Structure 1
Amino acid sequence: MVANEGSSLPSSPKRGPSKELTTRVLSALVMIALALLTAYLGGWAFALFWLAAGIAMMVEWTDMTGVEPRRPVQALLSAGLVVLTLLLIANAGLGLSAAVMLGFLAAGALLARGEEGKRWASLGFAYAAVIVLVPPLVREHPDFGILGLLWMFAVVWATDIAAYFTGRAFGGPKLCPSISPKKTWSGFIGGVVAATLGGLLVAWIGRRFGAHPPVGYPALAALAVVASIASQIGDLGESALKRHCQVKDSSHLIPGHGGVMDRLDGFWAVCLIVAAVLLALHFTA
């Protein structure tokens, strides 16, 4: 998630800005270490890591939107995400996975009460399925592999960090004050620039170690710009959802960051773009 910039963090006698930032940095380092370790391992470990993230996001989504009956819906949708992960690990075909996804989507909608509840349950499952499926698919893809995954990480993390610090350093006009009043255009631009440099750096290092990105540096730079913008739009989208649901954080699972949705909203948006690319490659191969 692109961090809020442009204003000081609230101070208190017990928990000042420096302690808040320290907690946030330590939590981020733990999450980055887990993401990189499981990415290196690949296979079951990596798929289970993103399954856990997807289930957490679905639970946060249905908690925020007030889907009822809450626990039965969450149990059903969690089972659906587990089945999708098992099919992914078993290399099941796209058709079977799509049919299973639609089946659980429909089952969740039938179980949820009220038209609004049915809609939120279906959207929550689809939202979580993106984060459960796309990173492992990229990791195992012959044209992308771990380098493509590291490129995604670098673009999103660079966007996040640079938007936070450039926004706080330069301030200026607000990006979208009606949704997220602390984000600034300076942070937005800083995030895009950093993401482009970060994406190119990963590609350059990959080439030095014998990896071969499927496209050249100009195309990678353009893709990084698009991905960085998508990441920041994803963050704003989640902020709009939280504002609609009248909550500050999606949960309190991660110290200093709120919930898993708060941490992965930007990465989710990049995954959505990559999913479109993967589908296009699948049908044109």
Structure 2
Amino acid sequence: MTKSGSFEDLATRLGSGLAMLVVGLGGVWLGGYPFLALIAVIVALMVWELARMCAPEDAQGALMLAAIAGGAVAASCVIPIGFALPLLLMPGMIGLGRFDQQRRVFAVYSALIGVAGLGLWVLREDFGFVWMLWLALVVVATDVFGYFAGRVIGGPKFWPKVSPKKTWSGTVAGWIAAAIVGWIFMANTVAGSELIGISIALSMASQMGDVSESAVKRRAGVKDSSSLIPGHGGLLDRFDGMLGASVLLLLVEQIIDFPPLPL
């Protein structure tokens, strides 16, 4: 592909990306039940996409599993989170018994989707708008800078058998972008310099989530998880990085004080 051709989908991607940005920022800003409802819908649609990739012949099952996943996230506002966790794992358990192929892939990935959705809800409720915005900007900066650096600079591929468009230049550019986001928030909040390292780690987790979703699509023999978002494919194609980053952040919050204080 020529460099001019590599940007042929840019207008569509930017338009869809702007629409998602407006909806996402609106939900994050409002917080509370509106944000939880947004997460529940996104989780439900991602589980639906995953089920359609793993078992394309079972359309009815995909809808059922999506409803359970979205309902489990929504239920976390009315029941203790400890009781919501079994509900989050229920779609994976049902998939193990229902699907003939890729049942293990569905079980693991659907569990990650549910836990990541719950993690975003907890982050917004416990730490507020600023830190939810920080996480989103780390993931977005990783993706955007990686996209442009990979196409402008090019160079060796990161994992060509799974994601042939990913390059090491784009990967490193994502880390640098995340570090800049971390530095900006460190300079304007009470957080210490460890925030930069955490931002880079979340950038890496975001990229791992991206590559993992590419591996799932390759096993399923599809290019995109769905066609819900013009220029981006499906919600899994767009939020795969957020899945990895939010799950890692849940672990980080248990290991160190967050936000990290100055050393």
TM-score, normalization: structure 2?
0.88
Find 2:110's aligned residue among 121, 125, 130. Answer: 125
Name the count of aligned residue pairs.
257
Matched, 1:238 2:227: no
Find 1:81's aligned residue among 61, 69, 93. Answer: 69
Judging changes above 3 Å, is the alpha-carbon distance between structure 1 residues 82 and 163 closer, same or farther for their aligned structure 2 residues? closer
Q: Report the Cα offset of residue 130 of structure 1.
A: 2.7
8 Å Cα contact 2:205/2:245 also seen in 1: yes
Equivalent in the alignment of 1:45:
34
Q: Report the Cα offset of residue 7 of structure 1.
A: 5.5
8 Å Cα contact 2:52/2:59 also seen in 1: yes
Equivalent in the alignment of 1:163:
146
DSSP-derived class of the 1:254 partner: coil
DSSP-derived class of the 2:76 partner: helix
Q: How does 1:194-209 map to 2 (within 5 A)?
A: 194-205=177-188, 207=189
Q: Which runs of 5+ in 2 are unaligned?
A: 258-263
DSSP-derived class of the 2:158 partner: strand
8 Å Cα contact 2:202/2:249 also seen in 1: no
Equivalent in the alignment of 1:98:
85
Higher relative contact order (CA 8 A, sep 6+): 1
Judging changes above 3 Å, is the alpha-carbon distance between structure 1 residues 275 and 68 closer, same or farther for their aligned structure 2 residues? farther
DSSP-derived class of the 1:89 partner: coil
8 Å Cα contact 1:67/1:113 also seen in 2: no
8 Å Cα contact 1:164/1:187 also seen in 2: yes
Equivalent in the alignment of 1:29:
18
Judging changes above 3 Å, is the alpha-carbon distance between structure 1 residues 168 and 125 closer, same or farther for their aligned structure 2 residues? closer
What one-letter code is carried by the residue in structure 1 that aligns with 2:210?
Answer: D
TM-score, normalization: structure 1?
0.81
Q: Report the Cα offset of residue 117 of structure 1.
A: 5.4
Aligned-pair identity in percent equals 34
Deviations 1:61-114 (A, max 9, x none): 11111265331x223323322332333212x3233122333445434433x143
Judging changes above 3 Å, is the alpha-carbon distance between structure 1 residues 224 and 167 closer, same or farther for their aligned structure 2 residues? same
Matched, 1:187 2:162: no
Q: Which has the larger radius of gyration?
A: 1
Q: Report the Cα offset of residue 204 of structure 1.
A: 2.9
